[in-house]
Structure 1
Amino acid sequence: MGRFEGYGVLVTGAGRGIGEAVARRLAGEGAWVLVTDLDGERAEKAAAGIRERGGAAEALACDVADRTAVEEAVAHAVRQFGTLDVLVNNAHSCHPDTPLFEDGADDTWARDLDITLTGAYRCARAALPHLAAAPDRRGAIVSIGSVNGEQDFGNHAYSAAKAGLAGLTRTLAGHAAPRGVRVNLVAPGTVHTDGWAGREAGLEAAAGHYPLGRVGLPEDIAAAVAFLASRDAAWITGVTLPVDGGILISQSGLRGALLGE
């Protein structure tokens, strides 16, 4: 029996990349998964792929910037699955920085924060009463943060949103714990997703800076999410778990300069 047999799960931004890998992993361990994405066709394609592998998945278009859409997605999951036990906040927005910080636009800053941080807040707010009602204190929220929320890797608005998401994880964990719901965050390093199409040379160059010698795969992140969402992590809440190939503990360029390498 899989770790998520009988669980109802909602994953945002799950039409591709990390979100799709998370949905596939949890469905593979027995969960009923609602695959949500801003692009409904992409969500349906991801859900169909899960069903082809023998998993249970439905798809629904959902804009996490829209409170009504979020509440409808949560209600849909509860209606279809009879329960909502796990929420995975993966939807995000990331605009490139302008060359000069002062040239940044208010609308792109607001969009990145609204989708990445406030979107997760909307989803958690809608889902929490149902997660608290889950049997055996198995309700869990796992959000996808980033090493950008821990250290400077560029992208001002995105990094600020991810840092805020880590803060929300801690405060919400304290609030939700007496209600039987755990709240944690996974902070990936560079992950090879479709978003890197056409920039593979950058990925190859980045790999050399990672102590483990490669960039991540969506499946690496999905494995960590599955752990934190499962009863294997029943005594873990409020943490940020870096899944980053060691990049946060390595300053290889500076180390090389100091050691004359």
Structure 2
Amino acid sequence: MTPSTSPVVLVTGAGHGIGRATVRKFRATDARVLAADVDLAAAQDLATDPGVRAAHLDVTDPASVDACVAECVDRFGRLDHLVCTAGGDKGTPPDFLDQTDDDWRRLTELNLYGVVRCIRAAVPRMSAGGAIALVGSVNGLAAWGGAPYSAAKAGLVNLTQQLGAELGPRGIRVNLVAPGTVRTRVWDDQPGRPDQMAVLYPLGRIGEPEDIANALAFLCSPDASWITGVTLPVDGGASAGPRHLFTRLSGRTP
């Protein structure tokens, strides 16, 4: 049997939200996907598709990360793209002076160190011409609140630049998507609230997981073959500035 030439993608945080939409987007392009998540049952729901395999992954555990990357290569024979969507911060963060060292450790471990571990494990096994796509946040670009989470996401911006330069000669591109508010399970216990935030966005709505998945797939595609080290805000125009909000609230143009 001739080995498949379809690209192989490892998606972290694949069980829910952006990660789940990303698996489906890559499958629509005929890629083969290892859907990895700490919630293995959620990842296994995606594995009813014959082009998807599920694996347990805890990005805060170095051994789990190494085992997951090895499993991807063992199952598919290679690794072309790494997409890191695992991360997050559920709930309203305390004020800065009330945040503890544990708060900082927990959120940095999940949102920054976990990504570093995945990249470090994947790169030696990746094919030339491959791509790494990370999920950051508009929180990493401006003061949207939640200092530990935001600082970790800001770290990904610089990491993307550093690795875009360092890994370019290996034929591996590294880019970051910075989403605004996206409808994911973080809002499950706050009915209606995400849509109340639509006023912050010039396009008049919050994001859907598919909006982010589309950007991640593009950055891993041949259409983005000369793009690396870049942070792409996918935020309905929020990072363009507050002019629209001033106009809506005051009825005047600033």
Report the TM-score, using the length of structure 1 for normalisation. Answer: 0.90
Residue 104 (structure 1) aligned with residue 99 (structure 2):
yes
- Contact map agreement 1:95 1:158 (CA 8 A) in 2: no
Judging changes above 3 Å, is the alpha-carbon distance between structure 1 residues 109 and 122 closer, same or farther for their aligned structure 2 residues? same
Separation of aligned partners in 1, 2:94 and 2:34: 39
- Deviations along 1:51-96, one digit per CA (max 9) or x if unpaired, are 1xxx500111110111111011111111111110000011113154
8 Å CA contact 2:18, 2:210 repeated in 1 = yes
Selected match of 1:62 from 57, 62, 75 = 57
Residue 150 of structure 1 aligns with which residue?
141
Shift of 1:201: 2.3
Question: Could you tell me whether the CA contact under 8 Å between 1:5 and 1:31 is conserved in 2?
Answer: no
Q: SS of 1:232's equivalent?
A: helix
Cα contact 2:137–2:179 (8 A) shared by 1: yes
**Pairing 1:206–2:201 present:** no
1:188 and 1:140 map into 2 onto residues whose CA distance is 19
**Contact kept in structure 1, 2:138 and 2:235, CA below 8 Å:** yes
Letter in structure 1 aligned against 2:159: L
Contact 1:138 1:181 in 2 (8 A): yes
Contact 1:95 1:108 in 2 (8 A): no
Residues 1:195 and 2:190 aligned together: no
State the Cα distance separating 1:200 from its structure 2 match: 3.4
State the SS of the aligned residue for 2:120: helix
CA separation in 2, counterparts of 1:212 and 1:95?
Answer: 25
1:94 to 71, 86, 89: 89
Is the Cα–Cα contact under 8 Å of residues 11 and 19 in structure 2 kept in the other structure? yes
CA RMSD of aligned residues (A): 1.8
Alignment of 1:160-239 (within 5 A): 160-239=151-230
Which residue of 2 is the match for residue 259 of structure 1? 252
Where do 5+ consecutive residues of structure 2 fail to align?
Answer: none
In structure 1, the residue matched to 2:33 is 33
SS at match of 2:168: helix
Q: 2:112 aligns with which of 117, 124, 127?
A: 117
Q: Aligned partners of 1:98, 1:145: CA distance in 2, in Å? A: 18
Q: Judging changes above 3 Å, is the alpha-carbon distance between structure 1 residues 42 and 233 closer, same or farther for their aligned structure 2 residues?
A: same
The letter of the residue matching 2:139 is: N
Say whether 1:240 aligns with 2:231.
Answer: yes
Aligned-residue identity in percent: 46
What's the TM-score once normalised by structure 2's chain length? 0.92
Residue type of the alignment partner of 1:46: L
Match of 2:69 in 1: 74
Could you tell me which amino acid in structure 1 is paired with residue 141 of structure 2?
A: E
Shift of 1:130: 1.6
Q: Which runs of 5+ in 1 are unaligned?
A: none
Deviates more, 1:190-199 or 1:164-173: 190-199
Contact preservation (8 Å) 2:133, 2:176:
yes
Q: Distance in 2 between matches of 1:5 and 1:28?
A: 15
Superposition deviation, residue 105 in structure 1: 1.7
2:132 to 113, 137, 141: 141
Q: Once the 2 structures are TM-superposed, how far is the Cα of residue 123 of structure 1 from its aligned partner?
A: 0.4
Q: Is the 8 A contact 2:84 2:115 kept in 1?
A: yes
Give the AA of the match of 1:215.
I
Q: Is the 8 A contact 2:93 2:146 kept in 1?
A: no
Shift of the 164–258 alpha-carbon distance from structure 1 to 2, 3 Å rule, reads farther
